[in-house]
Each structure stands twice: as C-alpha cells, then as structure tokens.
Amino acid sequence: MEQKINNPNKISFIICVNDETYYKECLFYIERLHVPEGFTIDVIPVRNELSIYQGYNQALKQSDAKYKIYMHQDVFLVYQDILLRFLELLTKHPEIGMAGILGSDSFPEDKYFYKSWNYGNVLACSEKNAFHNELIKRESRVVAIDGMFMMTQYDIPWREDTLGGWDFYDFSQSLEFIHRGYEVWVPAQKKPWCIHDCGYLKLNSYDESQKKFLHEYKDRVPDYSNHREVYPVLYRQQYELMMELKEQLKVLLFSGQEAEVRNVLSKVSDERFFDSELAVMKNILEIIEAESAAGICREQGFLYDCSIFLEAYHKYTQVKFRLRREKYATDNILLCQYREISDVAEEIIRKHTMIK
C-alpha cells in the first residue's frame, strides 16, 4: 500500500460497533481525554461490515489522520492522558509502527492465543467477575498486541484479501507491521489506563479463523499441526444449543418461573457454554434472591419496571456504567438512569463488575 500523506496532528479512533449502548459509553470516556496541544481527534464508527478486516480497511481509507486507534466499543479509557503517553512513545521511536495496551513477547506453546498476553496492565470484566490483568508493566517490544486497543502511526492494510471474521486480526496486523520492518510495542503502565468490559468471549468460529491465520503465516509462527482444535465440533454444537436454550430462559424469567431458570443454570458447570447475557441473567437471579431475603418485594425490586429480559439487561448495564463513572469519572459523572435501585442490587452489580 502506497503511504498517503496524512495529517500529522490528528488522531482517529476507529471503532467496530454492534451495540450502541456500549459505543455511547466508549465515546463518553473518549470525550474526557486530554487532547495533546495542537492535535485534533475524530471518531469513525464501523458498522454492518462482513469482517473486522474489511471494516478497518474502509475506515483506514476514510481517515486522513497520521495516528489511528483501532479499538473495541467495550474499551473505556479511564486514564485521561493516554493519548499523550502513546504519542510520546511513537514520536520518540519512529521505528515503532504500532503500540497497544496488552501484548506478548512470544507466541503461545498451544493454540490458545488469547491467553498469551504477558505485558500490560488493564482492568477487565467478564460479567461474572471484575479482574485486574496486571502483567509485566515495563515498556517492551512485543511480537503482537491485543486488538482491544491498537494505535498506529503508519498505514498498512488489514488482510481482508485472505482472512475474515473477527478473530486473529490483531496477531495478523502485528505480523504485517513486523514484516515491513516496523516494531510493535507496549508502553509502561504503572496503573491501568482502561477498562475492557469484554464479557464472555464468543469463540465458536475461533478454530476456523485460526486455521486460516496459521496457513497464511506458516513461515512466521510456530508449527501447531500436532495440536488439537481449541473448540471442537461437539463443543460448537453444544454451545449453539445453549444459545437456543437461553432464549427460552429469558421468557421463563418473566413468566414467574425464576426457580426453573435458576435450576437450569445451576446445572451448567462448564462456563465455556456461557455468554454475557447468561452471566447477567445469573446475576439478576442473585439480586432477586437477595432482595427477597432482605424483605424487598418484587414490585419494589430490581425488576419492577422490566417486562422482558432486554429491558432488564439494559438496566443492569446502565447501573454498571453509572457505578464506574462514580469511581473513574468523578469530574463528569452526569446523571444516569436507574439511580433508585436497592442497596442490595447495587452491591451485587458492583461485586460482579468492579474491582474494590
């Protein structure tokens, strides 16, 4: 790709969007950032694309910014000087093509690539638990960075010519930069710079995407030919069945059959068959049970104004966002919906979504 002349004082945020609620919250934190003097920023949402490779390529062509940040809609930038720190790293080292929040200095021994990160510092939430992914925190050159946040200062096309889907794009782009003689780095982060509200990973297409990735980069990655699939056919079939069952559980939860929903979920011991909605469903059941024990009736409890699961899920998410703003955005909390919920409900949501 011929290097086009871009605005050296502009930063573009490029964000794939399939959930407007999360995207709005992502923008809230972007708008709070300290923009380096003389710089401007813009945001390019990517919607309704066939793959992340295709979407990012379209946005790359639209943007005239030298610096581009490819990030997830569920990444909330709580450190207001994050742009200054990344710019310091990139301008000081022109040999660096791309930098990110999380990275790895080597490829994994097995096929679990998403477990390979060993550099970085980030807060995260799976909906079951909030956790601090506190890894090696010093500045380092790496072989790949996580796709949650990828800042570039040169334009290299994403490999939509041979790869597709929504997995392995971060490893692919890291290898593309390195192949062209650039370096990939993770800056030093003494404290977490962002929250990755990642929920449960949806990995039913993981092996198919990995097969294409490993074939494309067979000369640049280890040989994994003797390793089994991470998520074999039986797993994928069971996962799809669980997703069908989930839709029935949503209806049962609002048909006075909470006990049945609780009984079904208690029998699912393998959390690989969960997704974020099921995790939130379990947490809502915990809220209902705790409110009942506290003498709070259903008409006054968490679900009093919800008639379907989608409304309850939205309410849960908004409370989660509000609790985070109260801790990480005290300068600009803004009024959020659903402030009048029970202390019991608030404490359970806090327990599952925030670090104490």
- Angle among Cα 261, 266, 269 to the nearest 5 degrees reads 135
Tell me: do 204 and 254 sit in the same domain.
Answer: no
In a domain, 147, yes or no: yes
Q: What is the structure's pLDDT at 246?
A: 96
Domain that residue 326 falls in? 233-353
- For residue 343, is it within any domain? yes
**Shared-domain flag, residues 201 and 237:** no
Total number of domains in the chain: 2
Q: Which two tokens stand for residue 154?
A: 């040169």
Cα distances from 335 to residues 74, 125, 315, 318, 330, in angstroms, run 20, 23, 14, 11, 12
Residue 76 near residue 26 (C-beta atoms within 8 A): yes
* Per-residue model confidence as pLDDT tens digits over 22-48: 999 999 999 999 999 999 999 999 998
Q: In whole numbers, what is the pLDDT of the chain averaged over residues?
A: 93
State pLDDT tens for residues 322-355.
999 999 998 765 555 666 799 999 999 999 999 8
Q: Which helix H or strand E contains 348, and what residues bound it?
A: helix 343-353
pLDDT tens-digit series, residues 265-315:
998 888 778 899 999 999 999 999 999 999 998 889 999 999 999 999 999
- Please tell me the distance from the alpha carbon of residue 184 to that of residue 46, in angstroms, as a whole number: 24
pLDDT of residue 217: 97
d(CA 208, CA 214): 10
- Which pLDDT value is given to residue 339? 66
Looking at the fold, whether 175 and 124 belong to one and the same domain comes out as yes
- Do 190 and 284 lie in one domain? The reply is no
Residue 98, pLDDT > 80, answer yes
Distance CA 97, CA 183 (A): 6
Q: What is the largest CA-CA distance in the chain?
A: 67
Q: Is the pLDDT of residue 172 over 80?
A: yes
User: What CATH number corresponds to the domain at position 60?
Assistant: 3.90.550.10
Structure tokens given for 212: 């294409």
Does position 179 have pLDDT exceeding 80, yes or no?
yes
100-132 pLDDT, tens digit each = 999 999 999 999 999 999 999 999 999 999 999
pLDDT of 1 reads 46
Q: Provide the pLDDT confidence category of residue 5 given band limits of 50, 70 and 90.
A: confident
Interacting residues of 104 by C-beta distance below 8 A, sequence separation 6+: 116, 117, 118, 119, 142, 143, 144
Domain match, 202 and 240 both: no
In a domain, 200, yes or no: yes
